[in-house]
């Protein structure tokens, strides 16, 4: 599995040749996105664990006033693919911050801002 990611400057357009260019190179994969998957799943909590052979990402949602979170998706990756995800995510975060400003880390929000649940 390779991580194609998204074009860091392309507002979520998949990486690849521009429209009208010849078909994908031999190392590229066309990705089909089903209607249900295109809707996406909101997650505001990720639980992560690993073994010697895999990384498990549990994407969950926690709601105000609810004492437990519900996992909506579990993604399992090899360590190599997890490392690739880290690189793609870092590249896209850098592009995002260049365009929109620094993303504050948890706990770095100014006290007057309403961020998250109350």
Q: Where are the domains of the chain?
A: 39-98
Q: Which helix (H) or strand (E) holds 3?
A: none
Average pLDDT per block of 10 residues along the chain, 118 residues long: 52 52 73 95 97 98 94 98 98 97 78 55
pLDDT of residue 10: 46
Confidence at residue 27, expressed as pLDDT on a 0 to 100 scale: 81
Chain centroid to CA 53: how far?
A: 21
Phi/psi class of residue 57: alpha, beta or left (left: φ > 0; alpha: ψ in -120 to 50)?
A: beta
- For residue 23, report the phi and psi dihedrals to the nearest 5 degrees: -55, 175
* pLDDT for res 13: 45
**What does the pLDDT read at residue 6?**
55
* 57 φ, ψ (degrees, to nearest 5): -110, 115
């Amino acid at each position: 599995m390779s991580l194609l990611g998204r074009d860091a400057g392309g507002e979520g357009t998949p990486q690849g040749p521009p429209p009208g260019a010849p078909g994908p190179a031999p190392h590229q994969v066309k990705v089909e996105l089903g209607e249900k998957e295109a809707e996406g799943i909101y997650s505001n909590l990720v639980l992560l664990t690993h073994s010697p052979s895999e990384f498990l990402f549990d994407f969950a949602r926690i709601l105000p006033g609810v004492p437990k979170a519900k996992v909506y998706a579990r993604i399992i990756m090899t360590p190599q693919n997890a490392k690739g995800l880290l690189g793609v995510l870092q590249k896209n975060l850098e592009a995002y911050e260049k365009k929109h400003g620094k993303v504050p880390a948890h706990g770095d929000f100014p006290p007057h801002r309403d961020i998250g649940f109350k």
